[in-house]
Amino acid sequence: MYRSEPVTIDCLQYCNWSSSIYDQMAAGSVDAVHVTICYHENFVDTVKNIEDWNRRFQRYPERLMLGRTAEDILSAKAKGKTAIFFGFQNCTPIEDDIHRIEIFHQLGVRIMQLSYNNQSLLATGCYEQDDGGITRMGRQVIQEMNRVGLLIDMSHSAERSTLEAIEHSTRPISITHANPFSWHPTLRNKSDTVLRALAESGGMLGLSLYPHHLKNGSNCLVEEFCQMVAITADNFGVDHIGIGSDLCQDQPDHVVDWMRNGRWTRDKDFGEDPSSYAGFPDDLTWFKDNRDFGSLRKGLNAVGFDAAEINQIMGGNWLEFFRQSFGPRPSS
Amino acid sequence: MYRSEPVTIDCLQYCNWSSSIYDQMAAGSVDAVHVTICYHENFVDTVKNIEDWNRRFQRYPERLMLGRTAEDILSAKAKGKTAIFFGFQNCTPIEDDIHRIEIFHQLGVRIMQLSYNNQSLLATGCYEQDDGGITRMGRQVIQEMNRVGLLIDMSHSAERSTLEAIEHSTRPISITHANPFSWHPTLRNKSDTVLRALAESGGMLGLSLYPHHLKNGSNCLVEEFCQMVAITADNFGVDHIGIGSDLCQDQPDHVVDWMRNGRWTRDKDFGEDPSSYAGFPDDLTWFKDNRDFGSLRKGLNAVGFDAAEINQIMGGNWLEFFRQSFGPRPSS
């Protein structure tokens, strides 16, 4: 399965970006990161977020480059840079305009979630009481995402919508950051039914290091996490898993408030934080920043993965998957 | 029930507005019209549509005035004008921002549909295959619409969402333009279950003259329509019905294409037109413009309504309902 030199790819981060984080990416030899460029931002605000990234690429050319293709990751690695892949956690930026799928692809966006916690115009989110499945517009948008090569991500979507996205999409889809519900039962984690359908259709799961997705939360041990990775590989295949850390480094607490509440409610929503605490959970002791991927590699080794499998999980699988996913399908 | 002097109110029109239409409103003694100011327009485009109306009010002060309260209708009548009430056929203009409910109320908007044919952020539309009911944001928005006094309209919404809107709303809601499904079975018409729940909660139904909502379509006779009004009054109470003609006078066919397709699909959607004809249906012979409400009054008389009941149906019920619906609830 794994056909390239070892790469490290993190398929989700939303940090308070700074030069020290880019230095940590270099120190950790992180070759590519899927970065969130919007939660609830509309079209214009998302374009502004892309402008911010364009300025970062100009300001830190020795550290960062825009990733548009899988090959860009190898190019970044060769130059000691990190390739940054743009992703949306919600479909808000396209508003009600299907033609913006192509516009955003032209602007470098490669991954889009069809919904974020709540109902969207396309699909239901994982915190809704009921899930009506992929909507009329959703079916059209999936077709368009398949056409231009914008990868579908169902990390924050509800069960039925996720199964229907897998069914309607003619290309494999992703869940970039979530864990199995059977390991830690929380609305954001995914059922075995979903994970099986995802793997069988050729899709990819990015395993998450966000404390609310982990057994024992912020106290989860690296051994426990890696044991979960081993079980997930046994159940769904080592070819279908990678890392999507959901690292939210250096973010002030008002950011998680924005993620949860956006502009959709006048009340406060606390997501799944059992304490109704309106802030980020505490960091893991063994995964705090981009220098800590080495501890994961060691942990995976300790639970019995061999070097080739570790390379797959730490980036090789995402690399192959990105090869198939970004851009129009090669004509057969 | 009916406590004011006779008024004529049409609770939905979307015409290609012109001075000849305003003259016809005056000739037909139409005292108030709920006009659609958006289908798929976003916030900024809807503000522009309000600007267009503000210019019309300035240009035709002898004919038109903005309606903000029920009393404005009596004031318009006294001056020989027509009071124009702004309404949205979809919630697109608020985008994902609940705070815009109050902003639009301040700008004069008085009625908003929670969805238009498709799934919205708030509710499911009548052309979706499945209906997950009112969403998390939808419940918050209903509460906010109740607070500021923006009337909920479920004309283009699906069954379960409509029943849940009635249930969640602490103020009566409306279906401004639709007919009973039992009379003409089409996805846009409403089940007896919905109409009963609507009436029992104090809500209002505006009976529609749009050919696709009528038995025999464009060939429906005034006698047939008025017979349907009589049956609806028998079943759900004469206090709960009015007219919402859905008059789309002088509109070019690209407008119905916009209504149906907006920007949500790259294919063409033909709504419920059985012929897959991408245009407006033919006009009724007996209802072509605002001068034709007299023929409706005659037709209602012919099927046995008395003068007081005809006055209720032709405007009195809407007048009373608007008194309760627009603006904050009077403190008890």
Structure tokens that stand for A200 in this block = 């069988």
Question: What pLDDT shows up at residue B3?
Answer: 53
A258 vs A262: CA distance, rounded Å: 5
Question: What pLDDT shows up at residue A2?
Answer: 46
Query: Structural domain of residue A151, as residue ranges?
Result: 9-325
Average pLDDT over residues B184-190: 97
Is the pLDDT at B46 greater than 50? The verdict is yes
Cβ contacts of A97 on chain B, cutoff 8 Å: 263-264
Query: Across chain B, where does the E strand assignment appear?
Result: 9-13, 32-38, 64-66, 82-88, 109-113, 151-153, 174-175, 204-207, 241-243
Q: To which residue do tokens 């999507």 refer?
A: A244
Of B167 and A275, the structure prediction assigns the larger pLDDT to B167
**Distances from the Cα of A97 to the Cα of A100, B266, B290, angstroms:** 6, 10, 35
- Nearest-by-Cβ selection for A140 from B128, B132, B264: B264
Model confidence pLDDT, tens digit, residues B58-100: 999 999 999 999 999 999 999 999 999 999 999 999 999 999 9
Question: What pLDDT shows up at residue A279?
Answer: 85
Cβ contacts of A40 on chain B, cutoff 8 Å: 96
Q: Which of B26-35, B249-258, B267-276, B302-311 has the lowest mean pLDDT?
A: B267-276
User: Quick check: A136 and B263 CB within 8 A?
Assistant: no
User: Quick check: B128 and A120 CB within 8 A?
Assistant: no
Over the range A256-279, which residues count as b (16 or more CB within 10 Å of their CB) and which as e?
bbebbbbbbbeeebebebeeeebe
pTM of the model: 0.93
**CATH code at position B70:** 3.20.20.140
Contact B56, B81 (CB under 8 A): no
Is the pLDDT at B239 greater than 60? The verdict is yes
Q: pLDDT band at residue B4, thresholds of 50, 70 and 90?
A: low
DSSP A93: G
Structure tokens that stand for A283 in this block = 């960091």
> ipTM beyond 0.85?
yes
Is the pLDDT at B233 greater than 50? The verdict is yes
Q: How many domains does chain B have?
A: 1
The minimum CA-CA distance between B1 and chain A, rounded to whole Å, is 37
| Best A163, A168, A266, A269 residue to mutate vs chain B (most B CBs within 10 Å) | A266
Structure tokens that stand for B112 in this block = 């908003």
Question: What pLDDT shows up at residue B5?
Answer: 75
* Residue in B53, B112, B105, B113 with CA at minimum distance from that of residue B83: B53
User: Quick check: A92 and B96 CB within 8 A?
Assistant: yes
Specify if A111 maps to a domain: yes
Question: What pLDDT shows up at residue B277?
Answer: 73
The minimum CA-CA distance between B34 and chain A, rounded to whole Å, is 25
Q: Which amino acid is at A115?
A: S
A245 vs A145: CA distance, rounded Å: 24
User: Quick check: A121 and B124 CB within 8 A?
Assistant: no
Structure tokens that stand for B300 in this block = 């209602």
What values do phi and psi take at B35, rounded to 5?
Answer: -105, 140
Q: pLDDT band at residue B330, thresholds of 50, 70 and 90?
A: confident
Specify if A332 maps to a domain: no
How do the pLDDT tens digits run along chain A, 332 residues long? 445 579 999 999 999 999 999 999 999 999 999 999 999 999 999 999 999 999 999 999 999 999 999 999 999 999 999 999 999 999 999 999 999 999 999 999 999 999 999 999 999 999 999 999 999 999 999 999 999 999 999 999 999 999 999 999 999 999 999 999 999 999 999 999 999 999 999 999 999 999 999 999 999 999 999 999 999 999 999 999 999 999 999 999 999 999 999 999 998 887 776 667 778 999 999 999 999 999 999 999 999 999 999 999 999 999 999 999 999 987 64
Specify if A3 maps to a domain: no
Specify if B133 maps to a domain: yes
Q: pLDDT band at residue B1, thresholds of 50, 70 and 90?
A: very low
Model confidence pLDDT, tens digit, residues B105-122: 999 999 999 999 999 999
Contact B259, B117 (CB under 8 A): no
What values do phi and psi take at B36, rounded to 5?
Answer: -75, 125
Question: What pLDDT shows up at residue B275?
Answer: 67
A107 vs A78: CA distance, rounded Å: 24
Contact A128, B136 (CB under 8 A): yes
Specify if A4 maps to a domain: no
Specify if B332 maps to a domain: no
**A149 Rama class: left (phi>0) / alpha (psi -120 to 50) / beta:** left
**Closest residue in chain A to residue B95, using alpha carbons only:** A95
* Residue in B87, B166, B265, B109 with CA at minimum distance from that of residue A121: B265
Q: To which residue do tokens 């100009």 refer?
A: A58
Half-sphere exposure of B210 (CA within 13 A, CB side): 28
Question: What percent of chain B has pLDDT above 90?
Answer: 93
**Closest residue in chain B to residue A132, using alpha carbons only:** B132
* Residue in B310, B322, B307, B293 with CA at minimum distance from that of residue B73: B322
Specify if A203 maps to a domain: yes
Question: What pLDDT shows up at residue A27?
Answer: 98
A11 vs A111: CA distance, rounded Å: 10
Specify if B3 maps to a domain: no
